[in-house]
């Protein structure tokens, strides 16, 4: 393949995924585990719960004491109280009960718990007018997990519920995939430093904020190298500073003009181009290269193009490094609410609004209802994906839609598609 030629999006994704592998792992405290990707199988270290416990606040008792209840009810003598975390050695005999709180260990001799609202308090005890069966309101030992049972597998994105289960099982820390380290810079003589106040004609490096946020949302550890002027020596020096990590992302300077210096800087650093140009719109000027152990992405300078190129090219690499199987944006189909015309020879991405309506999902292109690019991006919550070969789409057609702003935990709602290629 001539690496100077534009290639299909699917081929670009295949080359990228072929250049990355899952990173090593590290152990972090549970408090730092939310949003991290599990790197090992988790098994129950013990039966859970480890003992019979009460499902309610009430009284532990012997159900056989309530057989053949007299009309005036049965009085049981209360012998104390147990609560969660108690190491109770209490035992009850005939005609006895023990006050018990939710989660407390059911004492020996008891086989049921009566909720407190079902009893009448009397001096020294309780009166019951209802019978119970064995195990009523009792959570059996090992009912939620058995020792050695597999509960979580590698590649799971840890959220609040997963961390709660780990804590219940006695875990204080968890082994997760290390976050990819990503250096981000943008190029252009017109750009002010991100910290400068500027003047009315100042062009700020907005892509830095865009990409730093997108990297972090995709599970990466982002470092800003700020803005670099259009000089190859400055660009090469900035790229060298980022080569200690897994990925470097640049924006701007990826075309073929005199001021488009990213490809030349890659060559100067001894890098190898994977591709230069992708048949998609926007984002056609994207490139990727391998420089030593670092994967470099050159994204277009226009924010909408940088945004879409990141989602289609960089994000899959980050998720693959995290050991995830769902590396591409999930897709659904929706009904197009108006006609749409695109460039037929490219894969096209259109910012849109996805609405969940009564008769099925409906999608509305943002460029049809918003005046400028900034308004379009702010209005969008999804992308319409139009494969090459289509130029005109009609209202009512069902189209592919990629929802945006879904956290990594949300990926479990979607089936994992196969890798391209």
Same domain, 187 and 299: yes
pLDDT tens column, 163-216: 999 998 889 999 999 999 999 998 865 554 545 555 555 455 678 889 999 999
% of the chain with per-residue pLDDT over 70 = 90
- CA dist 248 and 236 (Å) reads 12
- The mean pLDDT value of the chain amounts to 88
% of the chain with per-residue pLDDT over 90 = 64
Same domain, 401 and 264: no
Decide which of 321, 349, 374 is a domain's last residue.
Answer: 321
Task: Please count the structural domains in the chain.
Answer: 4
143: tokens are 């009912």
Same domain, 343 and 237: no
Check residue 419 and give its pLDDT. Answer: 45
Beta strand 58-61 with 96-100 is antiparallel
- Give the highest mean pLDDT range of 84-88, 250-254, 301-305: 301-305
- CA dist 247 and 222 (Å) reads 10
Residue 39 in domain = yes
**CA angle, 118 as apex, 114 and 122 as ends, to 5°?**
95
pLDDT, mean of residues 291-319: 94
Same domain, 254 and 285: yes
CATH code: domain of residue 264: 3.40.980.10
- CA dist 331 and 181 (Å) reads 27
- CA dist 50 and 68 (Å) reads 33
31: tokens are 């408090």
Contact 88, 104 (CB under 8 A): yes
CATH code: domain of residue 163: 3.90.105.10
82: containing domain: 53-139
More confident residue, 200 or 94: 94
Contact 298, 254 (CB under 8 A): yes
- CA dist 204 and 191 (Å) reads 6
Three-state SS string over the chain comes to: CCCCCCECHHHHHHHHHHCCCCCCEEEEEHHHCCCCEECCCEECCCCECCCCEECCCEEEECHHHHCCCCCCCEEEEEEEEECCCCCCCCECCCCEEEEECCCCECCECCCEEEEHHHEEEECCEEEECCCCCCCCCEECCCCCECCCCEEECCCCECCHHHHHHHHHCCCCEEEEECCCEEEEEEECCCECCCCCCCCCCCECCHHHHHHHHHHHHCCCEEEEEEEECCCHHHHHHHHHHHCCCCEEEEECCCCCCCCCCHHHHHHHCCCEEEEECECEECCCCCEEEEECCEEEEEECCCHHHHHHHHHHHHHHHHHHHCCCCCCCCCCEEEEECCCEECCCCCEEEEEEEEEEECCEEEEEEHHHCCCCHHHHHHHCCEEEEECCCCCEECCCCEEEEEECCCCHHHHHHCCCCCCCC
Burial 108-123 (b: 16+ CB within 10 A, else e): eebbbbbeeeebeeee
**CA angle, 235 as apex, 315 and 6 as ends, to 5°?**
50
Same domain, 239 and 370: no
Residue 232 in domain = yes
Q: CA–CA distance from 353 to each of 348, 350, 384, 388 (Å)?
A: 16, 10, 9, 22
CATH code: domain of residue 362: 2.40.340.10
Same domain, 102 and 198: no
365: alpha, beta or left? (left if phi > 0; alpha if psi -120 to 50): beta
Residue 103 in domain = yes
Say if residue 232 is preceded by a cis peptide, omega within 30 of 0: no
pLDDT, mean of residues 213-235: 87
Contact 313, 12 (CB under 8 A): yes
Same domain, 172 and 209: no
Same domain, 37 and 154: yes
Check residue 203 and give its pLDDT. Answer: 52
Q: CA–CA distance from 73 to each of 67, 120, 122, 183 (Å)?
A: 11, 10, 12, 75
Same domain, 13 and 63: no
- CA dist 103 and 96 (Å) reads 20
Residue 416 in domain = no
pLDDT, mean of residues 390-413: 89
Residue 118 in domain = yes
pLDDT tens column, 231-277: 888 888 888 888 989 999 999 877 776 667 888 888 889 999 999 99
From the CA atom positions of the chain, what is the Rg in Å?
A: 31
Check residue 420 and give its pLDDT. Answer: 45
Residue 104 in domain = yes
pLDDT tens column, 131-153: 999 999 999 999 989 999 999 99
When mean pLDDT is compared across 118-122, 177-181, 191-195, 316-320, the lowest value belongs to 191-195
CATH code: domain of residue 125: 2.170.190.11
Same domain, 155 and 288: no
pLDDT tens column, 339-362: 988 888 899 999 999 998 888 899
Check residue 375 and give its pLDDT. Answer: 66
Same domain, 270 and 396: no
Check residue 151 and give its pLDDT. Answer: 93
Q: Does residue 378 carry a pLDDT above 90?
A: no
Same domain, 172 and 217: no
Residue 100 in domain = yes
- CA dist 105 and 409 (Å) reads 35
Contact 308, 349 (CB under 8 A): yes
Decide which of 321, 353, 378 is a domain's last residue.
Answer: 321
Residue 421 in domain = no
pTM for this prediction: 0.83
Contact 275, 15 (CB under 8 A): yes
Check residue 84 and give its pLDDT. Answer: 87
């Amino acid at each position: 393949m001539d690496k100077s030629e534009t290639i299909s999006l699917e081929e670009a994704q295949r080359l990228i995924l072929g250049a990355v592998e899952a990173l090593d792992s590290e152990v972090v405290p549970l408090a730092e585990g939310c949003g991290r990707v599990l790197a090992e199988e988790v098994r129950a270290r013990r039966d859970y719960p480890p003992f019979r416990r009460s499902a309610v606040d009430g009284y532990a008792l012997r159900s056989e004491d309530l057989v053949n209840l007299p009309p005036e009810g049965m009085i049981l003598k209360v012998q104390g109280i147990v609560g969660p975390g108690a190491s109770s050695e209490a035992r009850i005999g005939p005609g006895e009960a023990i006050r018990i709180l939710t989660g407390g260990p059911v004492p020996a001799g008891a086989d049921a718990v009566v909720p407190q609202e079902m009893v009448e308090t009397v001096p020294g005890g309780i009166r019951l007018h209802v019978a119970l069966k064995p195990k009523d309101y009792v959570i059996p030992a090992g009912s939620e997990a058995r020792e050695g049972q597999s509960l979580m597998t590698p590649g799971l994105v840890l959220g609040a519920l997963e961390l709660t289960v780990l804590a219940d099982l006695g875990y204080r820390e968890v082994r997760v995939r290390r976050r990819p380290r990503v250096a981000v810079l943008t190029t252009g003589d017109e750009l002010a430093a991100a910290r400068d106040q500027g003047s009315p004609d100042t062009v700020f490096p907005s892509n830095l904020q865009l990409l730093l946020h997108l990297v972090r949302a995709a599970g990466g550890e982002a470092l800003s190298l700020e803005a670099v002027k259009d000089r190859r020596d400055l660009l090469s020096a900035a790229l060298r500073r980022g080569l200690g990590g897994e990925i470097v992302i640049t924006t701007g300077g990826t075309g073929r003009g005199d001021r488009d210096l990213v490809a030349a800087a890659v060559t100067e650093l001894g890098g190898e181009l994977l591709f230069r140009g992708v048949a998609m719109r926007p984002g056609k000027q994207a490139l990727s290269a391998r420089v030593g152990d670092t994967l470099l992405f050159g994204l277009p300078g226009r924010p909408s193009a940088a945004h879409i190129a990141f989602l289609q090219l960089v994000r899959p690499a980050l998720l693959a490094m995290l050991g995830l199987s769902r590396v591409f944006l999930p897709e659904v189909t929706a009904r197009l609410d108006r006609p749409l015309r695109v460039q037929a020879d490219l894969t096209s991405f259109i910012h849109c609004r996805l609405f969940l309506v009564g008769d099925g999902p409906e999608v509305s292109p943002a460029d049809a209802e918003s005046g400028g690019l900034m308004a379009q991006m702010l209005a969008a919550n999804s992308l319409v994906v139009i494969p090459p070969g289509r130029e005109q789409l009609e209202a009512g057609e069902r189209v592919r839609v990629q929802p945006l702003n879904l956290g990594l935990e949300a990926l479990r709602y979607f089936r994992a598609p196969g890798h391209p290629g």
